Structure 1
Amino acid sequence: MTEPTVLRRPVRDAGLLDLARAWVEAGSGDGPEPRPSATVMLVRDTDAGPEVYVQRRVATMAFAPSMVVFPGGRVDPADAGLDPATPGLADLAAHLGVTPAEAAPFAAAAVREVEEECGVRVEVAALRGRGHWVTPAFEPRRYDTWILAAGMPEGQEARETSGESDGGGWARASVLLQRAGRGEVRMMPPQVWALEALERFDSAAAFLADRPDIRRVVPVLEQDPDGTLVLVTSL
């Protein structure tokens, strides 16, 4: 098995840094139990290369306020009703390393959230696995999130249909990463990692055809000798 790549990134976002410091001062506990959730990288091709649909969460949200994210949310009890025999679910589950019954709630949540948040209806068979991330323990709200991807269906239009965001639209991965680097937009590590992956592809089709090795990633907060708080991620 390939050894994981370990990334060490100082926590520089002001909001995350405040949460991290408060957690350390309180004794660095285990944190709340992560809630199951799913998020979707909705992608399309343009003459300049692939784009992804993103949203900016409103500043009043309890989790990730003002952050740029992909459409998604937590798994609801009703999502467990998806038939494990749904076309495409078995292939998705095999890539995720789970059974179709285990994948069903996440796939159902992904389809539901994309429609609720940007008015786009995607099929389970269109979903592709990209990653599996767990919110660090210092966050007061934690999520166990499957990151999925799907192509933008023809004949549909993505638009903001949820009160959870105050802005959204299509963007190139490289542009979003550059803006994040300049501090113009705020993003969490999973979104940065996912955009860095998309940036390596010349087309949405190539990105969706890729089947990356999916690991359950749990970033851990550490403190360097100089007091710098560092998020350590094993990919």
Structure 2
Amino acid sequence: MSEIIAGAESPAAPKDASTVILVRDGASGPEVFLQRRVDGMAFAAGVTVFPGGGVDVSDSVADIGWAGPDAAWWGERFGVGEDRARALVCAAVRELFEECGVLLAGPTADTVVTEAETHSAVREQLVRRELTLGEFLSRERLVLRADLLRPWANWITPEISPRRYDTHFFVAMLPAGQRADGATSEASEVRWATPAAVLDSWRAGADELLGPTWTQLRTLHGFASAADLFAADRDIETVLPVLERGGDRIRLVFPDCDAYYADLPAAHRRW
């Protein structure tokens, strides 16, 4: 018999975060862009992840041009208020630009920049919080392209964790003419790979994947093209893993976790 272990009496409040699953078409099908977080980071050190990070205060007050689904649409899809939804979308665009140099914005509502590298100095200012996304886009007269994002999933860090995030996953296709890079201090290496290849690498112990990333890779597998993946209509259900004890075993429980633990390399077992 298993026992669900309650979290702390006063679990830490989860911080809003946005993660972007960046996709493109490769020779063997759709590929995703992945980063291996540097060792020594306070959260998920050494783990292979998609680009993303916490929502900044400036994301919620960004006064910018906006193309695509409005905040009300995003709020309905993610089950949050309009202000919070707008901040999540802005954070997704900002984090994607900061972490891999891909900019989902353009001079007009139906264009996107083709050489994001020209804004490399601004990218560094954003990372150092010397400039906000709203200030950057307004100054360059760029429109945020919310239509280049799609909602994908929502996971909340377990209550037992001292550092918690309410992470909203987005999907975006790599814009034509742009290149995702590894010019970030948060990643030791980056690469493009098919979801199947990443899962194989994880089973072999070469990549460490936490439950949320593993789950998204499984849902991405099987699409014929990046366009098909981007067009998928997802029902967003919030997932909050819980800690379970069964005999001598302690593990996090989430949808399809039995399959996760069946293939989880012993070296990467954290529970």
Q: TM-score range by the shorter chain?
A: 0.7 to 0.9
The counterpart of 2:24, out of the listed 44, 47, 56, is 44
Partner residue of 2:68? 88
Structure 1: how far apart are the matches of 2:82 and 2:163? 27
The counterpart of 1:233, out of the listed 237, 240, 254, is 254
SS state at 1:55 partner: strand
SS state at 2:179 partner: coil
Structure 1: how far apart are the matches of 2:231 and 2:253? 29
Indicate if the aligned counterparts of 1:92 and 1:128 stay in contact, CA closer than 8 A.
Answer: no
Q: How does 1:77-116 map to 2 (within 5 A)?
A: 77-83=57-63, 86-90=66-70, 91-116=73-98
SS state at 1:221 partner: strand
Structure 1 unaligned spans of 5+: 1-7, 9-23
SS state at 2:251 partner: strand
Following superposition, the deviation at residue 179 of structure 1 comes to 1.1
Structure 2: how far apart are the matches of 1:71 and 1:208? 17
Structure 1: how far apart are the matches of 2:216 and 2:63? 29
Q: How does 1:1-235 map to 2 (within 5 A)?
A: 28-30=7-9, 31-83=11-63, 86-90=66-70, 91-122=73-104, 123-224=145-246, 226-234=247-255
Structure 1: how far apart are the matches of 2:245 and 2:167? 25
Partner residue of 1:21? none
Indicate if the aligned counterparts of 1:56 and 1:165 stay in contact, CA closer than 8 A.
Answer: yes
Structure 2 vs 1, CA of residues 99 and 139 (structure 1 numbering), >3 Å: closer, same or farther?
Answer: closer
Residue 144 of structure 1 aligns to which amino acid in structure 2?
A: D
Structure 2 vs 1, CA of residues 219 and 84 (structure 1 numbering), >3 Å: closer, same or farther?
Answer: farther
Structure 2: how far apart are the matches of 1:180 and 1:138? 25
- The Cα offsets for residues 50-74 of structure 1, whole Å up to 9 and x where unpaired, read as 0000100000100000000011000
Structure 2 unaligned spans of 5+: 105-144, 257-271
Indicate if the aligned counterparts of 2:74 and 2:86 stay in contact, CA closer than 8 A.
Answer: no
Structure 2 vs 1, CA of residues 116 and 193 (structure 1 numbering), >3 Å: closer, same or farther?
Answer: same
**Which is worse superposed, 87-96 or 42-51?**
87-96
Following superposition, the deviation at residue 145 of structure 1 comes to 0.4
SS state at 2:89 partner: helix
Aligned-residue CA RMSD (Å): 2.0
Aligned residues: 210
Structure 2: how far apart are the matches of 1:203 and 1:108? 26
Following superposition, the deviation at residue 234 of structure 1 comes to 4.5
Identity %: 38
Residue 77 of structure 1 aligns to which amino acid in structure 2?
A: V
Following superposition, the deviation at residue 95 of structure 1 comes to 2.5
Following superposition, the deviation at residue 230 of structure 1 comes to 2.2
